Amino acid sequence: LRLLTDARTSGHLPEVLVMATGRDPHPLLSALEADVAAAGGEVLELAPDLLTKITGKDNPQAVAGVFAEFDTSLAALDRSSAKIWLVAQALRDPGNLGTMLRTGDAVGAGGLILLDDCADPFSVEAVRASMGAVFTQSLAQARWEDFIAWLREAPGGEAGGQLVAASLRDARSG
């Protein structure tokens, strides 16, 4: 419910809201249900054991949501929305991906750009680890070459972005 409420607050509503029958009433859930229905989404009620099968959790909360796929292209980013963007290359751990989204949210970054072969930012693990930041942070996926071109070309004739990096490979103390 917390993730779905954060999504709603950030302007993202699920296309399908799945709720367990016999759930305890909650005002946030009622508001979410009303908003999904008003936006033309589908609201389903299922037996708790079916919700368990859908979510893959032994003790799921009484609600789950299905969202439309996000546009994760570099072109979809509003570069001017922030001075800082986090970038990760070949990030494999969905928990670390969620942590980076939370960090970006905390420092006011525009979002997270994932380069090359990274973990799925919309996997259950990454979404949970983000604690809602997947809905507040912009997210893009690109190849290194495309990112560098995007970084160097600035709209309106402005100077391109600056890249500051850290790596665990070939670490040297300076």
Longest Cα separation, the chain: 61
Residue 153 pLDDT > 90: no
Residues 65-83 have pLDDT tens digits of: 999 999 999 999 998 889 9
* Average model confidence (pLDDT) across the chain: 89
Better-predicted residue by pLDDT, 168 or 2 = 2
| Section 38-52 average pLDDT | 92
Kindly state the percentage of the chain with pLDDT values over 70. Answer: 92
Confidence of residue 164 (pLDDT cuts 50, 70, 90): confident
- The CA–CA distances, whole Å, from 135 to 21, 46, 59, 60, 93 equal 27, 26, 24, 21, 19
